[in-house]
Structure 1
Amino acid sequence: MLKRSTKYLYRNMLKYVGIRKKFCCICNKAVVGFLPYEGEFKNFSFTELKIVGSDVRNFMCPHCRCIDRERHLFLYAKKLDLISKMSNAKILHFAPEKNISKIINEIKPSKYIKADLYPTSPDIQKIDMLSIPFEDNTFDFVIANHVLEHVSDVSIALKELNRILKIGGLGVLQTPYSSVLQNTFSDPGISSDSARLNLYGQEDHVRVFGNDIFQIITSNGFKSRVCTHHEILYDIDPIQYGVNVLEPLFLFEKI
């Protein structure tokens, strides 16, 4: 059920979006518009550092409640035929999104582990990305969609993800990053919720990645297969589908 304020916003959205139709690729429904993120986003990080990540103004589908990064990931995966390749594969999925999880379950992978440091349902295992309890070369895919900005030690996390992937296995490692910063920014003195919100963009983020994020990942045993919306989804109107055209697919292969 949508909140009363959210319902009111949706009913009155026509006056703001005009006649351009929107479409949710997850529930396959036309919508008047996508709902904005209800949290605070007018902070230093989002405005001055030009964060590439979620589209906070076209965030949630009013029907299935999927969010923009789920829609974008689904569009990328479908176009690259990753979804069919996940059939009969072994998959480890951190912070599993409800709609993406449903799609993965429907294609019947041979093993599908949903993981989170703070599980919210019985089907999600409590797993710390810094110490993953699986043997080397176990999984064909690992998915961590907007997770790396939360972990305390990125290098250890990436080494663990690389370790449990098979050679040639693929990692979907989406994370927001600044298109302005050349180097990732983090400081242990930034410890309060308000400080993290203003400088990192969210209360539970512990860093802002810079343009070095791609090198950080490849320096931990991965080969970049990163691709952009313009390269892969050139036939997809980002406004119509409610996705951020600037967000690339963070796809990496274990070498």
Structure 2
Amino acid sequence: MLIQMSVWARPLIYQFFKGDQFFDPIDGRSYRKFLPYGYGKQRENALSPGTLSLERHRQMWLYLQNETDFFIKNAKVLHIAPEQEFLRKFKRMSNLNYISADLYSPIVDVKADILNLPFESESFDVIFCNHVLEHIEDDATAMSELYRVLKPGGWGIIQVPMKNSLEKTYEDFTIKDPKERQKHFGQYDHVRWYGMDYFDRLRNVGFETEPNFYSKQFSDAEILKYGLNHNEILPVVYKK
């Protein structure tokens, strides 16, 4: 119901927020403001009122648009726990064989457990899995499953909440209380804060990857206009 209401209300929302201060590359519209968002201390100008995208979503879209052939090349795509706006747009793209999957979401194509994906090995050209692994204790198995279903020569984006100041990931599975998890990991249903060793974890299951501060390619004016976080890493992975 919330998803359907958000689609219905979107034209009204745009009329209220339209302007020329900010630009959302996902819907190609300009806004007079973006909205604050975040658990605890909120980030200013983080949430686009038109697409409900955050900084990381807009960074990913700009990367896909500027650095890849995602929008023109035929590809079979697996999207785990798809963001609503991405799902809507990707499903309409005629060049994609797009499959969405999640264990609980009512809007996906396939109900699937990321720890045991119901897909054949080496069956996807592209995989997206954003802000999922921080919910899963056995993230190594989840990463291995993503690697397994990706074709050789394929690539993907696997975003997670990261603290760039942490060399080593902070996790403690004995912490079960939602309030304590929010205190330790930033959100009530997270089990870790990833550090820079996240890329070692990805490499350990076979991926090729390096930290990619993609937002740093933009000027300060562009970062403000798009509502980006210049310190946010975009984890792009590859399979030989």
Aligned with residue 83 of structure 1, among 70, 79, 86: 70
In the TM superposition, residue 109 of structure 1 has moved relative to its aligned partner by 4.0
Residue 9 of structure 2 corresponds to which residue in structure 1?
Answer: none
Does the aligned pair in 2 maintain the 1:172–1:249 contact within 8 Å?
A: yes
Q: Distance in 2 between matches of 1:207 and 1:225?
A: 20
Give the paired residue count: 227
Residue 167 of structure 2 corresponds to which residue in structure 1?
Answer: 182
Does the aligned pair in 2 maintain the 1:225–1:253 contact within 8 Å?
A: no
TM-score of the superposition, structure 2-length normalised? 0.85
| TM-aligned CA distance change 1:20 to 1:64, over 3 Å | closer
Residue 115 of structure 1 corresponds to which residue in structure 2?
Answer: 101
Q: Residues 8-61 of structure 1: CA distance to partner in whole angstroms, max 9, x if unpaired? A: xxx8x9xxxxx9821111222221111011x5323xxxxxxxxxxxx8322221
| TM-aligned CA distance change 1:102 to 1:25, over 3 Å | same
Write the letter of the residue equivalent to 2:88.
K
Q: Distance in 2 between matches of 1:163 and 1:246?
A: 30
Write the letter of the residue equivalent to 1:228.
F
In the TM superposition, residue 205 of structure 1 has moved relative to its aligned partner by 0.9
Residue 237 of structure 2 corresponds to which residue in structure 1?
Answer: 252
Residue 148 of structure 1 corresponds to which residue in structure 2?
Answer: 133
Does the aligned pair in 1 maintain the 2:215–2:223 contact within 8 Å?
A: no
Does the aligned pair in 2 maintain the 1:143–1:171 contact within 8 Å?
A: yes
Does the aligned pair in 1 maintain the 2:59–2:215 contact within 8 Å?
A: no
Does the aligned pair in 2 maintain the 1:115–1:124 contact within 8 Å?
A: yes
SS at 1:163 equivalent: helix
Residue 52 of structure 2 corresponds to which residue in structure 1?
Answer: 65
- What is the aligned-residue RMSD (CA, Å)? 2.5
Residue 158 of structure 1 corresponds to which residue in structure 2?
Answer: 143
Aligned with residue 152 of structure 2, among 163, 167, 172: 167
Q: Distance in 1 between matches of 2:76 and 2:155?
A: 11
Q: Distance in 1 between matches of 2:184 and 2:238?
A: 31
Does the aligned pair in 1 maintain the 2:215–2:232 contact within 8 Å?
A: no
| Structure having the larger proportion of residues in strand | 2
After TM superposition, the structure 1 stretch with the greater mean CA deviation from structure 2, 189-198 or 102-111, is 102-111
